[in-house]
Amino acid sequence: MLNSVVALFNAGAAPAAAGDYESIATVTVGSGGSTSIEFTSIPADFTHLQVRGIARSTRTNASIDQLYTRVNGDTGSNYSWHWLYGNGSSAGADVGTSSTIMNLGWFATNSTDSVTNAFGGFVLDILDYANTNKYKTFRILCGNDFNGGGGAYNGTVVFASGLWRSTSAITSIKFDPDAADFAQYSHFALYGIKGA
């Protein structure tokens, strides 16, 4: 099922066969949580990158937390992002320009209106990450389901995109929750895509 979703999500780029995805690194958060998840020393051997993950935040005062992303340690105002969300009954959007982060959606928390041990899932594509002639484009599909809890965020799907305005090759990617830590068992996996 996941490979079908990945193939559908990649419909806008050159198609990738199942064997084109090569595991680069994985991170699973241990007991006590983690303030961030970072992939470093990313090789320039691929055409695109993909990160697949499940995440939960230790935040307790809201049913969602934001997924913030930076690359190559860049904390300058060099990012743009926008996202659209829907939950079957309502929809919304947000945007950021000249931002110091990319806000690429949201995921479940430890809030009492969430579901115990529920995790949000996502698939993130990073296109032409090693190309030194263009800015870098990100796109993500993520979502949560709280079995009727979570208020307006129950059953929410988010489609987001981001831009890092730099021609440098991406060698590291860092993910941070907005308001707390990543909870135990959050899991991120980085893949390289060979492409055509």
Domains contained in the chain, CATH given: 22-193 (2.60.120)
The three-state (H, E, C) secondary structure of 15-74, written as one string:
CCCHHHEEEEEEEECCCCCECCEEECCCCCCCCEEEEEEEEEECCCCCCEEEEEEEECCC
Q: How far apart are CA 28 and CA 33, in angstroms?
A: 10
Per-residue pLDDT of the chain (196 residues; tens, 9 = 90+): 334 334 434 445 555 555 689 999 999 999 999 999 999 999 999 999 999 999 999 998 888 889 999 999 999 999 999 999 988 888 999 999 999 999 998 888 888 666 777 888 999 999 999 999 999 999 999 988 777 666 667 778 999 999 999 999 999 999 999 989 999 999 999 999 987 5
pLDDT at 94: 93
The two beta strands, 102-109 and 48-57, are: parallel
Q: How far apart are CA 93 and CA 6, in angstroms?
A: 23
- Read off the pTM: 0.86
